[in-house]
């Protein structure tokens, strides 16, 4: 069902609020079973039903309305039986907001050697005891139904985009379409869980277009662009995203899987994508790195030992906001430096900061889209990140030029 600006399906409503008059950026409201989510959005990854040391309350306080769990990990620990007994992943982790789960297929291929993909599913050896196991579309759906995620992902045949084997790439794309059909048939809770399709096809734009057409015909409530962030050139990545968003309907959420550097988010938003996820902001926090609008700072460096400013000036996260403001913790770079790689609290504080940074970047992007000043926002963003425009990454300059923004224009 769709009006001019709203699409509804049994477990989801999508309302398009604004479109940038220059780029393809969109602002929208996605309503899911566990509440409303403003798009575009960055989704932090709580791989094993926990966001790396943050309590669900701390995560909620960053404004996060939708985070990820990984099906593969939850299938191993705590396992499907426990998930069923506990009543799903929301109850397991005390998270009352929305969850998105991947299909488990990506981890099979990326984490496990000897994963072998057949028409039936992904064959792999159990990391526990080495016994042969099989992840099928049906099993992935069953696991994700037990998890109870608000958005589930289809099992897809993932191949690194840089694979030169065209025939194998076509097979993977076509198989992903067939597996979507099996996922739809096996999905037990379409009234309260949304199943998103995943567009495959590597870097071959024609194959991507073909996949878009096939996937769209199956009318899932949301659409993901998959197989990216696997080492392809950024130019190629942008071309794929742009090529897909051109074909996608206005009134469905578009999720680009596995990307998360701030530049990627800002450019992909300009190319018309709405949702992103990545482990990088939380992983890099554990390595002592803080994301700021002027770039990534390594807090372990001696220059921060006696730096008594906040992690980032002007940041509104609980660590950084001015000490006299409500909810401020009053963390200094010096204290983070003091404990980086020594006490877990340093990792927790940087995780809090980095998650806030990513969510806030998308909040500001959204405000800019609604005010129809997204191109200005994009220029400011790159201006902050690079002191000298000649250092702007050419992939970003080119991709943005393709949607009407000239970063180098003076």
Partner 1 sequence: MTVDTREFGSAAMSFEILRAALGDGAAARLGRLAFAGRRPIDTPNFIGITSRGAIPHITPDNVARHLNVGGAYMALEDFIERPQQYSTRTPPIYEIPPTAKHQTRLHSFTAMPPSVTTVLGARRLPAVASPMGNTKSSVSVFTSTGFQALTTAEYLAAAQSLQPDIAVPPADLTHSPITPNSKRALRMAERTDEWLEEWFSELQDSPTPVTTFAPVLPIPYPIQWEYLSRLAEDYLPTAQLAGLALYDPDLLPDLASFVPALLPLPRLSLSPPSTPHHILNQIALGIDLLTIPFINTVSDAGLALAFTFPPPTTPPNNPLPLALDLTAPRFATSLAPLTPHCPCGACTTHHAAYIHHLLAAREMLGWTLLQAHNHGVMAAFFAGVRATLAQQDGAAAFARARGEFARAYEAGFPLGMGERPCF
* Site residues for partner 1 per CB under 8 A: 48-58, 73, 77-78, 82, 85-86, 91-94, 286, 302, 305-306, 308, 318, 323-324, 327-332, 334-335, 338-339, 341-345, 347-349, 352
Smallest CA-to-CA distance from 209 within 218, 198, 200 is with 200
Q: What residues act catalytically?
A: 102, 277
In whole angstroms, how close is the CB of 229 to partner 1 at the nearest point? 23
Opening angle at CA 33, ends 192 and 222, nearest 5 = 75
Q: Is 315 annotated as a binding residue?
A: yes
Residue 128 CA to residue 135 CA, distance in Å, equals 15
Q: Is 105 annotated as a binding residue?
A: yes
Closer to partner 1 by CB, 134 or 341: give it: 341
Q: Is 229 annotated as a binding residue?
A: no
In whole angstroms, how close is the CB of 230 to partner 1 at the nearest point? 24
Q: How far apart are the first and last CA of the chain?
A: 45
Closer to partner 1 by CB, 88 or 389: give it: 88
Q: Is 319 annotated as a binding residue?
A: no
Closer to partner 1 by CB, 268 or 282: give it: 282
DSSP character string of 167-229: HHHHHHHHHHHHHHHHHHHH-S-TTTSEEEEEE--TT-HHHHHHHHHHHHTT--SEEEE-S-S
Closer to partner 1 by CB, 88 or 402: give it: 88
In whole angstroms, how close is the CB of 116 to partner 1 at the nearest point? 26
Q: Is 104 annotated as a binding residue?
A: yes
DSSP collapsed to 3 states, the chain:
CECCCEEEECCEEEEEEEECCCCCCEEEEEEECCEEEEECEEECECCCCCECCECHHHHHHCCCCEEEECHHHHHHHHHHHHHHHHCCHHHHHCCCCEEEECCCHHHHHHHCCCCEECCCCEEEECCCCCCEEEECHHHHHHHHHHHCCCEEECCCCCCCCCCCCHHHHHHHHHHHHHHHHHHHHHCCCCCCCEEEEEECCCCCHHHHHHHHHHHHCCCCCEEEECCCCCCCCHHHHHHHHHHHHHHCCCCCCEEECCCCCHHHHHHHHHCCCCEEECCHHHHHHHCCEEEECCEEEECCCHHHCCCCCCCCCCCCCCCCCCCCCCCCCCCCHHHHHHHCCCCHHHHHHHHHHHHHHHHHHHHHHHHHHHCCCHHHHHHHHHHHHCCCHHHCCHHHHHHHHHCCCCCCCC
Q: Is 278 annotated as a binding residue?
A: no
Closer to partner 1 by CB, 280 or 335: give it: 335
In whole angstroms, how close is the CB of 119 to partner 1 at the nearest point? 32
Closer to partner 1 by CB, 94 or 404: give it: 94
Q: Is 317 annotated as a binding residue?
A: yes
Q: Is 106 annotated as a binding residue?
A: yes
In whole angstroms, how close is the CB of 55 to partner 1 at the nearest point? 7
In whole angstroms, how close is the CB of 86 to partner 1 at the nearest point? 5
Closer to partner 1 by CB, 31 or 360: give it: 360
In whole angstroms, how close is the CB of 70 to partner 1 at the nearest point? 11
Q: Is 236 annotated as a binding residue?
A: no
Residues making up the annotated binding site for Zn(2+) are 315, 317, 320, 353
Residues making up the annotated binding site for substrate are 102-106, 156, 200, 227
Residues making up the annotated binding site are 102-106, 156, 200, 227, 315, 317, 320, 353
């Amino acid at each position: 069902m769709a009006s001019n600006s709203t699409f509804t399906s049994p477990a989801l409503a999508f309302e398009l609020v604004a479109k940038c008059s220059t780029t393809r950026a969109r602002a929208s409201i996605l309503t899911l079973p566990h509440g409303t989510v403003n798009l575009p959005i960055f989704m932090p990854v709580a791989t094993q039903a926990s966001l790396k040391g943050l309590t669900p309350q701390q995560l909620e306080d960053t404004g996060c309305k939708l985070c990820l769990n990984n099906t593969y990990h939850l299938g191993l620990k705590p396992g499907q039986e426990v998930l069923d007994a506990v009543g799903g992943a929301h109850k397991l982790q005390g998270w009352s907001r929305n969850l998105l789960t991947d299909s488990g297929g990506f981890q099979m291929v990326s984490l496990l050697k000897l994963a072998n993909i057949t028409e039936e599913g992904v064959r792999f050896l159990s990391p526990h005891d080495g016994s042969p196991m099989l992840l099928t579309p049906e099993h992935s759906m069953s696991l994700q139904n037990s998890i109870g995620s608000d958005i589930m992902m289809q099992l897809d045949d993932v191949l690194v985009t840089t694979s030169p084997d065209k025939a194998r790439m076509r097979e993977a794309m076509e198989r992903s379409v067939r597996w979507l059909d099996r996922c739809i048939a096996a999905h037990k809770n379409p009234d309260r869980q949304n199943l998103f399709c995943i567009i495959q096809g590597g870097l071959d734009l024609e194959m991507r277009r073909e996949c878009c057409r096939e996937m769209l015909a199956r009318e899932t409530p949301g659409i993901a662009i998959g197989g990216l962030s696997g080492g392809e050139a950024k130019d190629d990545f942008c071309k794929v995203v742009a090529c897909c968003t051109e074909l996608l309907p206005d009134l469905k959420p578009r999720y680009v899987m596995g990307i998360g550097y701030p530049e990627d988010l800002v450019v992909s938003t300009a190319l018309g994508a709405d949702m992103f996820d990545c482990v990088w902001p939380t992983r890099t926090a554990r390595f002592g790195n803080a994301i700021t609008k002027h770039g990534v700072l390594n807090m372990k460096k001696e220059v921060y030992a006696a730096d008594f400013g906040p992690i980032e000036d002007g940041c509104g996260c609980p660590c950084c906001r001015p000490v006299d403001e409500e909810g401020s913790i009053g963390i200094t770079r010096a204290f983070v430096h003091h404990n980086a790689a020594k006490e877990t609290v340093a990792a927790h504080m940087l995780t809090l900061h980095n998650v806030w940074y990513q969510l806030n970047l998308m909040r500001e992007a959204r405000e800019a889209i609604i005010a129809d000043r997204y191109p200005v926002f994009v220029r400011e963003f790159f201006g902050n990140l690079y002191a000298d425009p000649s250092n702007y990454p050419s992939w970003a300059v080119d991709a943005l030029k393709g949607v009407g923004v000239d970063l180098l224009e003076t």
